[in-house]
Amino acid sequence: MFRNLVALALMALPLAAERSQIWSAQEMCAEAHSIVIGERVGASKVRVEEWLMEPPDGEKASHVIEIMGLEKNQKVVVVPGLAQKAQGPVTWRLKSQRLMCFLVEKGGRWQAMAQGETGSSGLVWIEEGQCYVYQQIKDQDDPGRTAYSLVASRFCQTEAQLLARVRQGLGDRKKWEEVLAIESPEEQAIVLCSYLLRRTSPESEYGTYRKRVRTLLSSLGEHAVGELVILLRNATEGDKFDEAVLILKDLGPLAKPAVLDIVRLLQNPGSVDAAIAIEALGRIGDATVAPHLLPFLTDTLAVRAEVAGAMAQFGYRDSIKLLEKALPDSDAVNAEDAHHIYAMLQALHELGSEEAPRLTANYLRVPAMGHMHNLLEPFLQGPAEE
């Protein structure tokens, strides 16, 4: 009863995304070489109850397997947020030897995915039907060091839920492998584009394979452009097109047929991140869209910096005065603004702004811009030569 209450308390806590990471079952299904569920019968040995995903080489699908480093996975459950004044966080030790393991093959031997010194992202302990996973926690004092804590799973709380997620994840993987096997670039582009929107994706609300679509579509050139244009033109309420526009940015001038569709998205708030869309338009390089971007010089500094960069790529000198006015007051600048200000000053310099040296000198006097001195110094020399 105590453990159930503590587990419920953990599940109610907000996830500190900037400090910790737990791989989803879908992500592990996409990366694993094999998946087993069974019982630990030795320091590093597991008696396999079922191969949920068999090895590529069927001969390795034995009943007892050895998993390198299995003995390193500590079994003390930690409950963040439930600390005792003297003793620290509430903990207890798992007694169960039942586990599910997402395996990778290394040198002909099995190892749990992302095996660390005290835990593994690819191992799930199961006790009394409840699931426990290793959460990676970054050391605040040493960002390069990652420790593991064993916690009650919040994503697959029970064994039944975990099994359902894994079977769905393996189904998603099979569909993805079928996409990769398509030989026709036109047909492959059509199916890949379906992954970019939640309502059309073969993996529904999950984005495991959506992250991989960008590289593949970018390699399909004009076949990708044609399908992406169709995707943008068939937008419905709630669709988000950031991934699609990033691919068009990668394609550069080849994506010119999509520029008006990207402009239309910009005029429909919420359908695309403005900074992403404007950067894409700059990379594509069609200067006819420049007047549509100038109103965004009243947006956030990050968006204004992208507008400036696009104007420089267009060579649109008519924007110089507006860009100069869009720079923030030097007295209000902080360290987070430095990169964006540099981008705007660089654009003014490339466009031949006569005010660029004076504006640069003003910002160089700001302490928050001190680390940018070497980058800004060339802009003190006057307009760039044509």
Give the pLDDT confidence score for residue 184 in this predicted structure.
Answer: 96
The answer, yes or no, to whether residue 317 has pLDDT greater than 90, is yes
Q: How confident is the model at residue 59 (pLDDT cuts 50, 70, 90)?
A: low
Nearest CA among 167, 92, 90, 171 for reference residue 125: 92
Nearest CA among 270, 209, 256 for reference residue 228: 256
Give the pLDDT confidence score for residue 22 in this predicted structure.
Answer: 77
Q: How confident is the model at residue 11 (pLDDT cuts 50, 70, 90)?
A: very low
Q: Rounded to whole angstroms, what are the CA distances from 209 to 54, 103, 218, 330?
A: 21, 19, 15, 43
pTM score of the predicted model: 0.81
Q: Could you give the CA distance from residue 313 to residue 315 in angstroms, rounded to a whole number?
A: 5
Give the pLDDT confidence score for residue 246 in this predicted structure.
Answer: 97
Nearest CA among 324, 22, 25, 359 for reference residue 160: 25
Q: Could you give the CA distance from residue 107 to residue 117 in angstroms, rounded to a whole number?
A: 19
Report the pLDDT averaged over residues 63-87: 79
Nearest CA among 66, 119, 116, 70 for reference residue 97: 70
- Please write the tens of the pLDDT for every residue from 252-290: 999 999 999 999 999 998 999 999 999 999 999 999 999
The answer, yes or no, to whether residue 80 has pLDDT greater than 70, is no
Report the pLDDT averaged over residues 15-37: 77
- pLDDT greater at residue 322 or residue 207: 322
3-class DSSP state of 276: helix
> By percentage, how much of the chain surpasses pLDDT 70?
87
Strand partners, 135: 149
* HSE-CB for 87 with a 13 A CA cutoff: 9
- Please write the tens of the pLDDT for every residue from 151-187: 999 888 999 999 999 999 999 999 999 999 999 999 9
Give the pLDDT confidence score for residue 155 in this predicted structure.
Answer: 83
**Cα 150 from chain centroid (whole Å):** 24
Q: How confident is the model at residue 3 (pLDDT cuts 50, 70, 90)?
A: very low
For residue 367 the two structure tokens come to: 């302490």
For residue 95 the two structure tokens come to: 């007694």
Provide, for the chain, the percentages of residues in helix, strand and coil under a 3-state DSSP scheme, each rounded to the nearest 5.
Answer: 50, 20, 30
